Amino acid sequence: MRTEQAVKRAAKPALVRVSGLSKQYVQRGAFSRRKFVIDAVREVDLEIQPRCLTALVGESGSGKSTLARCLALLERPDKGEIWFEGEEVSRQRGRELASLRPKIQMIFQDSAGALNPRFSAAEIIAEPLEIQRLASGHQLHKRACELMEEVGLSPDWADRRPLEFSGGQRQRLAIARAIALQPAFLILDESLSKLDLITQAQILQLLSDLQTTHALTYLLICHDLTLVKRVADFVLVMHHGKIVERGTRQDVLSSPQHVHTRHLLSSVRDLESAFREVQRGERS
């Protein structure tokens, strides 16, 4: 049913559209002055449909994170275009770029490293609201507590520091910060890979709930097709910097056409028992 709904949404204009995107890095050899060019992303075309979860899968080093950083406007592509809400955004700077920041948010794999250890939970969540001048004083703290509650964290923990939370709780904290500015597009870069299976399932349920209440569009970067099988509407398979297969979840996972997709499927692990435990009401 989820995929059928996603296909209906696909008839609408894409929220994100990428055309011919490439990104290179130049590195020096460890023992010589010779320079090496690394083609991290090569001539990528893709579309991400509104209010759907698109999974970008591939092995480590395939270019997933580089592509994600380009889509989040954290890095500029060397070639190609990125269209967001019908507007070309990859070359924007200054105020135009700043106005886009609230609409596109990214959550990273290492929540402990991404969250300022000196800030309290409330300060971490409130910081983007303060930067954008959307609230001040008591309203900042109040809104931070509301967001904590929305992601399943007790407002009583508002004064705790990140290292006082578990890994799953830190990801909830990162999600609360990310949705504070009411984005349209949320990129999750391997955000679940360090969590145990039960916690993964709980976070995925939270993301599903937030998608409904906030009309969010997700790009989930991962290498675990078990997760993809459970939650994705559409799947993009990346290999050596290129998108080698794309389609609905059912099309890609049930009838894979590319040899790399078949290789990824051969290493799938089963998450179904974890989801069943969550559905029985277990909580971390």
What number is the average pLDDT over the span 152-161? 97
Q: Average pLDDT, whole number, for the chain?
A: 89
pLDDT band at 77 (very low <50, low <70, confident <90, very high): very high
Please state, for a pLDDT cut of 70, what percent of the chain lies above it.
89
Alpha helices in the chain (DSSP H): 2-10, 64-71, 94-100, 111-114, 121-131, 138-150, 167-179, 197-214, 225-231, 249-254, 259-266, 272-279
Task: Report pLDDT for 1.
Answer: 46
Choose between 153 and 196: higher pLDDT.
153
Q: How many domains does the chain contain in total?
A: 1
**Does the residue 98 lie in any domain?**
yes
Choose between 129 and 263: higher pLDDT.
129
For residue 131, give the CATH number of its domain. Answer: 3.40.50.300
**Does the residue 284 lie in any domain?**
no
> Is pLDDT above 60 for 199?
yes
> Is pLDDT above 60 for 63?
yes
**Does the residue 111 lie in any domain?**
yes
Question: To which H or E segment does residue 235 belong?
Answer: strand 234-239
Residues in a beta bridge with 44: 21
**Does the residue 117 lie in any domain?**
yes
Choose between 103 and 191: higher pLDDT.
103
| 8-34 CB burial, b ≥16 within 10 A, e <16 | ebbeeebbbbbbebbbeeeeeeeeeee
What number is the average pLDDT over the span 165-175? 94
Task: Report pLDDT for 263.
Answer: 83
Task: Report pLDDT for 27.
Answer: 82
Any residues with CB less than 8 A from the CB of 218 and at least 6 apart, and which? 52, 53, 54, 185, 186, 187, 188, 207, 211
pLDDT band at 276 (very low <50, low <70, confident <90, very high): low
Residue whose C-alpha is closest to residue 175's, from 274, 283, 195: 195
pLDDT per residue as tens digits for the range 114-155: 899 999 999 999 999 998 888 888 999 999 999 999 999 999
pTM of the predicted structure, to 2 decimals: 0.86
Domain with 185, as residue range(s), is 2-279
> Is pLDDT above 90 for 193?
no
**Does the residue 23 lie in any domain?**
yes
**Cα(253)–Cα(131) distance, integer angstroms:** 42
**Does the residue 155 lie in any domain?**
yes
